[in-house]
Amino acid sequence: MSADTESLSLARRALTHLRDGTTDLADGTMEQPVAAYADPDRYRREVDQIFRHLPLALALSIELPGPNTWRAMTILDVPVLITRDEEGVARAFINVCTHRGATLCQEGSGSSRRLVCPYHAWQFDYGGKLRAMYGASSFGEVDAAKHGLTALPCAERCGLIWVCLSPGEAFDIDAWLGDFAAKLNDLRLDQWHLYEQRELPGPGWKVAWDGYLESYHHASVHPQTVGKFTIGNLTLHDTYGPHQRIVFGRRTLEELKDKPEAQWDAETHIRRIHLGFPNLAISGVLGDHCLVSQVFPGPTPESTITRQNVLSARKPETEEEKQATAAFSDIVERAVRDEDYAIGYGIQRGLKSGALQHFTYGRNEPGVQHFHRMVAAHMARDPDKLVPRPTATTPSR
């Protein structure tokens, strides 16, 4: 299906819901014990089995714009160094010098001929090989092949660099993404401009992530930010194995009611959110802007760090472009930090109150239900549920 044909199909689905006052629905409601959010032992097991052993989208391809560039970060206490070598291949390593364990590159990004340890000036190439040692003649014999950087499994697809935090493991990124890759490729993430990147503290992983998965709360939580532009409680939902895409109708959708489809500019009336399991959200937003969010669990079930990547279709040059991009950056920051996460911190306090034993997810929250089923499937390692297969949520009647 071409991008234009798919946009038309999605707008048609959304308009039908708008006319009928309906939305895509799960088969039934779903209950989840509060312990799934609050139990520290369960939390540690989930972080270990999911976040340390699955491919995580840790960087945008555009963060490493050319050969001999690097990006350093700490994810779940693992110091990660992502590089792009002289041939343009993305690689990942543990950001630790193999001489005496010093941090090789400080957090952030950079470019240089070689990676040089700040402690004793050992030098590594961007493929992780030890290439030179300061004072080599007095140091003694060293087998360079045994002193390369510790590699992490890494692959680059769809404008994203995917890394597994466990050395020695392997993953098949094409099998992991399945048909979801085609949806990500349509976004052309490698052609955007990275305008701004920031980290936001937030409530626990699942509390924070649930808010990315439905529009049921938009009218009540976001009336002056994203809710001004989207229709609350109208969601299209499609799944691709553990991954999913949800589509919101924009408030302009009603303009299509009396227009023949041949005159529709369908893409301007919908908003797509691509959700890569377990923590990647990509929101394509009208106005040549896009938000890529990565939600990482904190040291306890009560905390997360969200990395917001604000993208613009091109580097803002004119005053009008600068104002528009700054306004978009501001609205998505406020919507998440001051609205979603403010509610989330209240939920986090409520978890400790003993008021509830279970949460209930509605039929109109199919994205939330799918996510929690995927968490359970990965914890149980159910292979039938882990292979990406495209499915569509049943529309309401």
Average pLDDT over residues 135-140: 93
Percent of the chain predicted with pLDDT > 90: 90
Average pLDDT over residues 360-370: 97
The confidence band for 197, taking pLDDT boundaries of 50, 70 and 90, is very high
Residue linked to tokens 């491919």: 55
In angstroms, the CA 232 to CA 271 distance is 12
Residue 393 pLDDT exceeds 90? no
In angstroms, the CA 369 to CA 375 distance is 10
pLDDT, residue 389, reads: 39
Residue 211 pLDDT exceeds 50? yes
C-alpha distances (whole Å) from 397 to each of 22, 234, 239 are: 7, 13, 20
Q: Is 0.85 topped by the overall pTM?
A: yes
pLDDT, residue 392, reads: 44
Give 84-99 pLDDT, tens digit per residue. Answer: 999 999 999 999 999 9
Which DSSP letter does residue 205 get? H
What CATH homologous superfamily does 56-170 map to? Rieske [2Fe-2S] iron-sulphur domain (2.102.10.10)
Average pLDDT over residues 245-267: 93
**209: nearest Cα among 20, 89, 46, 16:** 46
Average pLDDT over residues 243-256: 95
Q: Answer whether 3-53+191-392 and 56-170 agree in fold.
A: no
Cβ neighbourhood burial of 77 (10 Å; 0-12, 13-18, 19+): exposed
Helix (H, G, I), strand (E, B), or coil: what is residue 189?
Answer: helix
C-alpha distances (whole Å) from 339 to each of 217, 252, 333 are: 10, 23, 9
Give 21-36 pLDDT, tens digit per residue. Answer: 999 999 999 999 999 9
**10: nearest Cα among 194, 272, 353, 283:** 272
Average pLDDT in the chain? 93
pLDDT, residue 387, reads: 44
Q: Please, where are the H alpha helices in the chain?
A: 3-20, 35-38, 40-46, 136-139, 173-177, 180-185, 205-210, 218-221, 319-334, 341-351, 366-380, 383-386
The confidence band for 382, taking pLDDT boundaries of 50, 70 and 90, is low
200 strand-pairing partners: 306
Residue linked to tokens 């990006």: 71
Residue 397 pLDDT exceeds 70? no
The confidence band for 381, taking pLDDT boundaries of 50, 70 and 90, is confident
In angstroms, the CA 336 to CA 343 distance is 10
pLDDT, residue 3, reads: 65
Which DSSP letter does residue 394 get? P
Give 299-347 pLDDT, tens digit per residue. Answer: 999 999 999 999 999 999 999 999 999 999 999 999 999 999 999 999 9
Helix (H, G, I), strand (E, B), or coil: what is residue 149?
Answer: coil
Under a CB-based contact definition with an 8 Å cutoff, are residues 23 and 364 in contact? yes
The confidence band for 1, taking pLDDT boundaries of 50, 70 and 90, is low
Q: Is the peptide bond before 40 cis (omega within 30 degrees of 0)?
A: no
- CATH 3.90.380.10 applies to domain 3-53+191-392: yes
Q: Which residues contact 292 (CB under 8 A, 6 or more apart)?
A: 60, 189, 280, 281, 282, 283, 308, 309, 311
Sign of the alpha-carbon torsion through 37, 43, 47, 48: negative
Average pLDDT over residues 348-363: 94
In angstroms, the CA 178 to CA 162 distance is 14
What are the b/e assignments for 338-375, b being 16+ CB within 10 Å? ebbbebbbebbeebeeeeeeebebbbbbbbbbbbbbbb
Residue 395 pLDDT exceeds 90? no
Residue 378 pLDDT exceeds 90? yes
pLDDT, residue 385, reads: 52
* All structural domains of the chain with their residue ranges: 3-53+191-392, 56-170
The confidence band for 366, taking pLDDT boundaries of 50, 70 and 90, is very high
pLDDT, residue 228, reads: 87
Please provide the DSSP assignment of 243-295 as one string: EEEEEEEEGGGGGGTTS-GGG--GGGGEEEEEEETTTEEEEEETTTEEEEEEE
- Lowest mean pLDDT segment, chosen from 133-137, 174-178, 179-183, 380-384: 380-384
Residue 390 pLDDT exceeds 50? no
**271: nearest Cα among 255, 294, 290:** 290
